[in-house]
Amino acid sequence: MKRQKNNNTTTIYDVAKYLNLSASTVSRALNNKGDIKRDTIEKVKNAAELLNYSPNIGAQYLKTLKTKQIMLSVTYLADEFYSDMVSAIQSVAKKNGYSLIIESTEDDIEEELKVIRNAKRNFIDGLIMVSLNFSEEHIKEIERLNMPIILSSMCKNRIKGGEGLFDYFGVDTNEGIYIATKHLIEQGHEKIGFIGHDLNTHTGCERFKGFCSAMNEFGLSVDEKYVMTTGKYCTTIGYETGLEFAKMKTPPTAICASADLIVLGLYQAFDEKNIRIPEDISITGMDNIRTTSILKPKVTTVALSQGEIGTNAANLIFRRLAGFKEPSQNIILKPRLIVRESSINISKN
């Protein structure tokens, strides 16, 4: 059966006329509502495909006040970190008969605020937004919306205010960096570098505090020349800092990176300068993106369970859409250290 070319918009009435059925029967068949025979449903869906029929979202909204769409807004869509989250949310959305719209804000607060402001005109029923640094401006814009909203910033620091306006999912990345740093210390490292996000963001500040906590607990000083925090893209941070460390007469023996993409930049820089990992320098990352188990040597990293966050966040937003009225949720997941090949015990050498 070939699909017909149709330059005009096909309506539900066209499908009904084609099958010699009533429009109400076609509507119930397309939406799986009412007592409709299975063969009739199949016949209607086949005809709808043949005639290039697609539902008019605006008209559907006026009738049901539901668009059957949710949106996921992330900082960098090209970032491998988000792949598991996107897949998980997409899967839950499909099970609920919804489509997923994805926005990438490039870690630009103005773009994030624009996404919130335009939520209604984008015909969505709910919004899941990931940001490195939520602010009072986000809260002000969210107050104007009347839809389920879930925020996540991959840290445990839920933005103050906004109680009752949104649910929050996060990960204790302070603990994540702490256990990664502790791991390096227990392997005999004392000169440990840290590379992370801008300290003016919740994400950057929380992770750096985790590094400092571990160093202080074991009586080690944080050497400023071994610390780099900036707002540059992660891989660039890693590459540029790696080149700087390579120039030092006494470089660190280990580096705790606050993201796996930073590690990718470090690997590139050290490969260019013939610095061996882990023989010359040990490295830990955070995020457990798929690439970390493929690189040679495989990367010791901290898993943040972004797929689990995606699944739980999507399930919760559909519970909200179904009328779940409990108080706003604040769910913080625990990180776990995955020890691989990029870190070794130098006390045995």
* CATH class of segment(s) 67-172+305-334: alpha beta
Residue 3: the pLDDT is 47
Residue 59: the pLDDT is 54
* Bridge partners for 282 per DSSP: 254
List the domain boundaries for the chain. Answer: 12-54, 67-172+305-334, 174-303+337-348
In this chain, the answer to whether the domains covering 12-54 and 67-172+305-334 adopt an identical fold is: no
- SS3 annotation, 17-64: HHHCCCHHHHHHHHCCCCCCCHHHHHHHHHHHHHCCCCCCHHHHHHHH
* Cβ contact 281:254 at 8 Å: yes
Assign 284 to helix, strand or coil. strand
pLDDT along the chain (349 residues), means of 10: 52 84 81 78 86 65 67 91 94 94 92 91 90 90 91 80 84 96 98 95 94 98 96 90 97 97 97 98 97 97 95 96 89 96 88
Selection from 334, 329, 336, 335 nearest residue 158 by Cα: 329
Residue 148: the pLDDT is 94
Q: Give the architecture (CATH level 2) of 12-54.
A: Orthogonal Bundle (1.10)
Give CA–CA dist 155/203, Å, rounded: 6
Give CA–CA dist 162/158, Å, rounded: 10
* CATH class of segment(s) 174-303+337-348: alpha beta
Residue 65: the pLDDT is 52
Give CA–CA dist 43/24, Å, rounded: 15
Element (H, E) at 171: strand 167-171
Q: Euclidean distance between the first and final Cα of the chain, in Å?
A: 71
**Residues contacting 144, CB < 8 A, separation 6+:** 117
Residue 133: the pLDDT is 87
| Residue appearing with tokens 């990345």 | 173
CA 140, 106, 294 angle in degrees (round to 5)? 130
